[in-house]
Amino acid sequence: MEKTDLTEEIARRVDDIPMLSTVAYRLIAILTDEDPSLKEAVKIVETDAALTTRILRVANSAAFFRGNPITTVFRAVMQLGMKMVTGISIGACTSQMMSRPLQGYESASGELWDHSLRTAIASREFAFFIQSRLSSDLAFTAGLLHDIGKSIISEFLESNPEKLPEGRETGLVLENIEGERKQLGTDHALVGHAIALRWGLPEPICIAIKNHHQPGEADDKYRDLVYAVHLGDLVALIGKHGAGSEELAFNLDPGYEKYIKISDEDLSKLLSTIEEELSSVKTSLFEE
Ligand SMILES: [Fe+2]
Ligand SMILES: [Fe+2]
């Protein structure tokens, strides 16, 4: 297929993506309200038994548990925050898409889920170090969905695109967005953005998906969130691949320093907590 045909075919696939659940949309609608109502969110969650179970599980998992066991939806929503609860309900709708094996990325089934969760947790942690007041829940949701475009374009990628881009002779390429563009006329960030628009997700999440590889290009008002996801993504990849400082330097947008102030000590603490939280959130989110 010609490159332009591929680009069009990918756009058609985006149009065919199933919409999110009614509960997810109702939660998103509350989130975008000027004055979001916690009570309303609790009522919506309570209409969905599977979601209720999931949310109680996450609230009681080691990553979030602070004290006594949580047994009511109200307390669980208080503990997790509404955006996080919305993220969980979106996650429940997308888990099938994200658990398929991605042949174009040479990744096995479940790997995208693993990476997305790792990124969600790391982005949420970075949000605590943002200079402005950024919701850590929003960072979690954006991190969870940042690579959703991969689930569509994977099957169109001829081969593993993660070969070295021009100008580099050695090292490990964490993600090769230019390689995707060359092959397909689009990339997983742009396709992810199209999916987010189709789903009617809130603007900051759409922008975080679109710009997670080039955070400096994001609209100024969302840049703090986009940097949290950008860093979360890299930390997740480094944890997985054991990449070194050269890979980090090549992939990291140094502009983050303006938005995120984190000491070396806090950074190493953050890295060591991610794995722990990952296993705890993973089992609580996806066990049936
Ligand atoms: Fe990505
Ligand atoms: Fe990623």
Q: Where are the domains of the chain?
A: 3-286
Q: Are 89 and 21 in contact (CB under 8 A)?
A: yes
> Distance, CA 147 to ligand 1 centroid (Å)?
5
Ligand nearest, relative to CA of residue 209: 1
> Distance, CA 115 to ligand 1 centroid (Å)?
10
> Distance, CA 56 to ligand 2 centroid (Å)?
27
> Distance, CA 112 to ligand 2 centroid (Å)?
8
* Opening angle at CA 236, ends 288 and 30, nearest 5: 55
> Distance, CA 36 to ligand 1 centroid (Å)?
30
Please give the chain's pLDDT, 288 residues, in tens. 788 899 999 999 999 999 999 999 899 888 777 777 889 999 999 999 999 999 998 888 866 667 788 999 999 998 888 878 888 898 888 888 888 888 888 778 888 888 888 899 899 899 988 877 777 778 888 998 999 999 999 989 876 545 555 555 555 556 788 889 989 999 999 999 999 999 989 899 999 999 999 999 999 999 999 999 999 999 888 776 666 666 676 778 888 888 888 888 888 888 888 877 877 777 666 554
Superfamily the domain 3-286 falls into? Hypothetical protein af1432 (1.10.3210.10)
> Distance, CA 211 to ligand 1 centroid (Å)?
9
- Helix spans in 60-202 (H): 73-80, 82-99, 111-127, 136-145, 150-153, 177-184, 188-198
> Distance, CA 57 to ligand 2 centroid (Å)?
26
Q: Are 208 and 224 in contact (CB under 8 A)?
A: no
Ligand nearest, relative to CA of residue 112: 2
> Distance, CA 187 to ligand 1 centroid (Å)?
9
Ligand nearest, relative to CA of residue 189: 1
> Distance, CA 233 to ligand 2 centroid (Å)?
5
pTM to 2 decimals?
0.85
What torsion, rounded to 10 degrees, do the Cα atoms 36, 40, 41, 44 define?
-150
Q: Residues lining ligand 1 (ion), CB within 5 A?
A: 147
